[in-house]
Structure 1
Amino acid sequence: MPVSASMITWTPEIAKECGVEKHCLELNATRPNRAESSVQVGLYYESLCPGCRGFLSEQLFPTWVMLQDIMNVQLIPYGNAQESFDGKRYKFTCQHGEDECLGNMIETCVLNLTGSVAFQIIFCMESASDVLKAAQPVNILRLCQTTNSQPLQHSPLCVELYAPSIKWESIMDCVKGDLGNKLMHENALKTKALKPPHKYVPWVTINGVRDS
């Protein structure tokens, strides 16, 4: 008798073996919460930090998917960045260069503009091969091109997938404008206020406290 997907009990091990682990995580993450969150988990990280990406996509997000009824996650993209003020705007220098500053800013604006689906979008970005490309709309003409008769690989449309009502232009207006600058400064203040101060990233707090 043929076996349909609906007849399978999808454990994490089966999902991984079948190559659909990420899809299952993203699908399960969209289910509504059944209870109010009680544990507050803070993640202080950088968008292009390999260790941060691995922790977020392989440990924190899967844990949240399973425990989101009792777990609330606060993401603070900043990490080891430095800021200065030129009299008008804050300027940021990031550990992994300008691309990381852009990634931090995109994810900060995603957190501000997309509400309850922000974590799903950021997981989608951080688990992709290219964090920055994963967030952006794909050029439809490019998708029609082929290389050696094979379709070109393309990044997932993370923002469009989870927040179709949010235009990419709105994200970029935040990134380039005063709102994004203000939000990133707030991330800097939150990071600098950590006690004890963070020594590395990813840096995790539970209910506002670092368990040493």
Structure 2
Amino acid sequence: MELLRLLAAVLLVSVDRTALGISHPKPSCHYPPSQWCRSLEIAIECKVQKQCMELNAIRPNETVPPVSITLYYETLCPDCRIFISEQLFPTWLMLKDIMSVTLVPYGNAQEVQSPTPGFICQHGEPECRGNMIQACILHLTTNSLAFQIIYCMESSADVLNAAQPCLHLYAPSVSWSSVNSCVSGDLGYRLMHGNAVMTRALNPPHTHVPWVTFNGEYTEEHEEKASSSLFHLVCELYQGVKPPACIGASVKLSQSD
């Protein structure tokens, strides 16, 4: 609940209607406040280009490396789904300027070579398909789009049946047939083999999922903090000047036109 309240606060801080001196969106602006600073064209249409320039000025220093988070998971694992939907994705929405996320769908699966090369998954064949669908989506789209699609899937009642509508919602230019071709072809196998190699190379070896590393390292302390408040842990680990979302500072936008 605290994380959701923080998310709402950050979205309000990003473009505060009261600070802009308006109580309703202007008729010419067809975008929600969270999108007003997404591009120069949108900022001009919504008449907030000055305010967006001020926001850009307080973004974290790009020379400081972001907190690198790698999640090793499997698509039908209940704890993985909770972590993605309640911790990882909301935190990324608020702090994506200071964090990077790598998703490795494989988890406790096993790679086998006989009678034919393939994989055995903890939650059966449906999970193997889910893992491969998400591996293919990660390959066929940008990291940002893939994360949104995967969040959409993992937060749905039926992960596999949500795959196609989630893809069409966030990446309409990517055809479902291209994902199916990846899953059923050699590319899907090679992507999953790569995830298997990454997972087997973990040191210490993973003993459960979700398994999360920060800047390439795993500690029980970080895992415990991440499971309860990933947002605060990312703020704590970031070595640059903390963004307003971390320190709770208000962003005062100019009211001048």
Fold match, TM over 0.5?
yes
Scaled to the shorter chain, the TM-score interval is: 0.7 to 0.9
Counterpart of 1:174 in structure 2 is 182
Q: Quick check: 1:107–1:122 contact (8 Å CA) kept in 2?
A: yes
Deviation of 1:90 (Å): 2.9
Deviation of 1:14 (Å): 9.7
Of residues 73, 79, 83, the one that matches 1:55 is 83
Of residues 127, 134, 141, the one that matches 1:100 is 127
**Change over 3 Å in CA distance of 1:70–1:95 after alignment to 2:** same
Q: Please tell me whether Structure 1 or Structure 2 has the larger radius of gyration of its CA atoms.
A: 2
SS at match of 1:51: helix
For 1:186-197, list aligned pairs within 5 A.
Answer: 186-197=194-205
Q: Quick check: 2:7–2:94 contact (8 Å CA) kept in 1?
A: no
Give distance in 2, aligned partners of 1:95 and 1:13.
35
> What TM-score comes out, normalization by structure 1 length?
0.74
Higher percent of residues as strand = 1
**Change over 3 Å in CA distance of 1:59–1:39 after alignment to 2:** same
2:107 corresponds to 1:79? yes
Counterpart of 2:219 in structure 1 is 211
Counterpart of 2:207 in structure 1 is 199
Q: Quick check: 1:90–1:185 contact (8 Å CA) kept in 2?
A: no
Q: How many residues align?
A: 170
Give distance in 1, aligned partners of 2:175 and 2:168.
8
Give distance in 1, aligned partners of 2:117 and 2:156.
29
2:113 corresponds to 1:113? no
SS at match of 2:160: helix
More displaced stretch, 75-84 vs 35-44: 35-44
For 1:19-34, list aligned pairs within 5 A.
Answer: none
Deviation of 1:108 (Å): 0.4
Give distance in 2, aligned partners of 1:45 and 1:174.
20
Give distance in 2, aligned partners of 1:92 and 1:84.
6
Counterpart of 1:43 in structure 2 is 71
Give distance in 2, aligned partners of 1:39 and 1:203.
16
- Aligned-pair identity in percent equals 60
Of residues 4, 15, 26, the one that matches 1:12 is 4
More displaced stretch, 89-98 vs 186-195: 89-98
Instruction: Give structure 2 stretches of 5+ with no counterpart.
Output: 9-33, 40-55, 221-257
SS at match of 2:101: strand
Q: Alignment RMSD, CA only?
A: 2.5
Q: Deviations over 1:154-185 (max 9, x none)?
A: xxx10001111000000000000010000000
SS at match of 1:48: coil
2:156 corresponds to 1:128? yes
Which AA in structure 2 matches 1:190?
A: M
SS at match of 1:42: strand
Which AA in structure 1 matches 2:132?
A: M
Give distance in 1, aligned partners of 2:93 and 2:200.
29
SS at match of 2:162: helix
> What TM-score comes out, normalization by structure 2 length?
0.61
**Change over 3 Å in CA distance of 1:70–1:15 after alignment to 2:** closer
